[in-house]
Homo-oligomer: A and B are copies of this chain.
Amino acid sequence: MQNVQSKESEVAARGSSGNEDFKTWLARSRARVEEALTAHLKQISKVAGTNSRLPEAVLYSVRVGGKRLRPILVLECCRVCGEQPDKAMPAALAMELIHTFSLIHDDLPAMDDDDLRRGKPTNHKVFGEALAILAGDWLLAHAFSLLASGGYENKTVPALLEILADGTKRMIEGQGADIAGEGQPADGELVQYIHRHKTAALIETCCRLGAICAAASTELTDALTHYGHHLGLAFQIADDRLDATGSQEKMGKRVGKDADVAKQTYPAAFGLEESAAQAAREMEAALRALEPFGRQAEHLRSLARYVIQRDS
């Protein structure tokens, strides 16, 4: 059927924006990421004879999965810059593995001490702390190797590498500040530092990587960087609000914990109402950053709206 459908009718079926329905697109993008990830994980699981459960620990946390929003962002930012999204797939997978590494280490007893993640026992609850630390380390190193093996032109690799390393370091710096801020009186400036680094840095990195994979102009790369920055802040404020108001069942992890350990959160520093308003402002700023892309960026716009509306 598909092959007899004209391009015009395809566009018509996707509505006036020339984009298919957001939810359909999100599901299809996620399926595309899952497929590539599964193929890639098969290669990882072939690392036989390691004489430990390390490969199993690595695969466990990647497979537990989530919304795969970060890799989807990489692919879509590549697409809106005029390149086939699949060109960005190795960078997209690298981002998902960096994200997975960060979750494994964040959940450790010495860090956030979480037993549950995405409704399943955390890595160290299943494999022990030593293997959880090593699984995170392995994923971090492996993510970088995907930039070398991803089929990118030689001149693109150093740029991708620098962006990935920079985003990862900023995320780690944010996690350090997050831990150090626990139990301290809520401090608006500190909360903003933590949000910018712990969450926004990696979201921004996704957008930059996607643009670089498409060899986009500095102008478009910067526009997507701003989008990612504000999207990341909106995302983290929404996450803080969900921890304060959501249910464990919906979230797949323990909630209400931020208040228990006196985390530096947006609601703690500014209250729930102002947090909602700030999340909306960040979303607006994210939308404004997309102006140069016109109707091409409809999915990125919907994604920003989706992020602050999820389950809240």
Binding site for B on A (CB under 8 A): 47, 49-54, 101, 105, 108, 110-111, 128-131, 133-134, 136-138, 140-142, 144-145, 147-149, 152, 154-155, 157-159, 161-162, 164-166, 168-169, 172-173, 175-177, 179-181, 190, 193-194
Contacts and interface: CB of A to CB of B under 8 A. Distances in A.
Contact of A137 (B136, B164, B180, B193): B136
Copies in the complex: 2
A50 B176 contact: yes
A141 B158 contact: no
A50 B133 contact: no
Contact of A179 (B111, B131, B147, B181): B131
A108 B137 contact: no
A144 B98 CA distance: 14
A58 to B, nearest CB: 10
A53 to B, nearest CB: 7
Residue among A49, A108, A165 with max Cβ neighbours from chain B (10 Å): A165
Contacts of A128: 110
B52 A180 contact: yes
Nearest to A53: B180
B111 A173 contact: no
A148 B172 contact: no
A172 B105 contact: no
Contact of A50 (B50, B54, B142, B177): B177
B129 A145 contact: no
Contact of A176 (B52, B144, B173): B52
Given A105-B133, A133-B105, A157-B154, A169 B142 contact: yes
